[in-house]
């Protein structure tokens, strides 16, 4: 039986929605949330203001749709991350970093959002606070498991390692804005190796070389 084709207007609506999201990404990277308006987005796409509102009734809805889309594109799925063992958690974060390296505009938006969303009145504040808290919890458990496996020093505090890792990750992204040749995933991989006990570093280095994160 022949597959049913999607109707033209439906496909057109999806394409218009994606074009609006793309325009919002460009503007968020350039001027941030507070510098952007739905009318700016409409002009960027070449449609009317009501045309944008039809798909995204407010600037807040558009912002969160942008964030949710790029998190999905990056494979940044905290529900899945919580199910993984320790080393796959680190591997997944390297995969996310590698995809960020391949999508410069998303890095620019993510860095802009990390700074702007610090404000409690920013519409993405709760999302970023919740995401950060969940990620720290996942990382703390991962480092704790690696301690139990004898790969990380027992004197280290897993929460401290998680907090430092989050800071390193954020710092790497911001540094990339100043040096576009900077290999963010490789530097994060080398940081992970540095935390492991010396007798396990060579094994992890080989794993990362085979995975292509260290050249």
- Name the class of domain 1-60: mainly alpha
* Alpha carbons 124 and 152: distance in angstroms, whole number: 35
Instruction: Kindly report, residue by residue over 167-178, the tens digit of the pLDDT.
Output: 998 999 899 989
Residue 165 has pLDDT above 60, yes or no: yes
Mean pLDDT, the chain, rounded, equals: 92
Domain with CATH 1.10.10.60 in the chain: 1-60
What pLDDT was estimated at residue 1? Answer: 45
Q: pTM score, two decimals?
A: 0.86
pLDDT in tens, 110-162: 999 999 999 999 999 999 999 999 999 999 999 999 999 999 999 999 999 99
pLDDT in tens, 179-200: 988 999 999 999 999 999 999 9
Token couple for 182: 């900077």
Fold observed for domain 75-211: Tetracycline Repressor; domain 2 (1.10.357)
Which residues of the chain does CATH 1.10.357 include? 75-211
- Tell me: pLDDT of 210 over 70: yes
What count of Cα atoms within 13 Å lies in the side-chain half-sphere of residue 56? Answer: 26
The per-residue pLDDT for range 96-112, each reduced to its tens digit, is 998 888 888 888 999 99
């Amino acid at each position: 039986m022949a597959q049913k084709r999607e109707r033209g207007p439906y496909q057109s609506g999806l394409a218009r929605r994606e074009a609006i999201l793309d325009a919002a990404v460009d503007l968020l990277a350039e001027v941030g949330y507070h510098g952007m308006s739905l009318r700016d987005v409409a002009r960027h796409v070449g449609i009317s203001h009501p045309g944008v509102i039809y798909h995204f009734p407010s600037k807040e809805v558009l912002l969160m749709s942008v964030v949710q889309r790029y998190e999905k594109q990056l494979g940044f799925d905290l529900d899945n991350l919580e199910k993984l063992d320790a080393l796959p958690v680190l591997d997944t974060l390297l995969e996310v970093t590698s995809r960020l390296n391949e999508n410069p505009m998303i890095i620019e938006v993510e860095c802009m959002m990390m700074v702007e969303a610090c404000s409690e009145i920013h519409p993405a504040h709760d999302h970023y606070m919740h995401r950060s808290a969940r990620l720290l919890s996942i990382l703390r458990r991962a480092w704790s498991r690696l301690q139990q496996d004898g790969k990380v020093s027992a004197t280290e505090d897993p929460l401290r390692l998680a907090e430092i890792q989050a800071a390193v990750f954020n710092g790497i992204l911001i540094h990339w804005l100043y040096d576009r040749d900077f290999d963010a995933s490789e530097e994060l991989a080398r940081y992970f190796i540095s935390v492991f006990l010396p007798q396990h570093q060579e094994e992890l280095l080989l794993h990362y070389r085979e995975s292509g994160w260290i050249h």
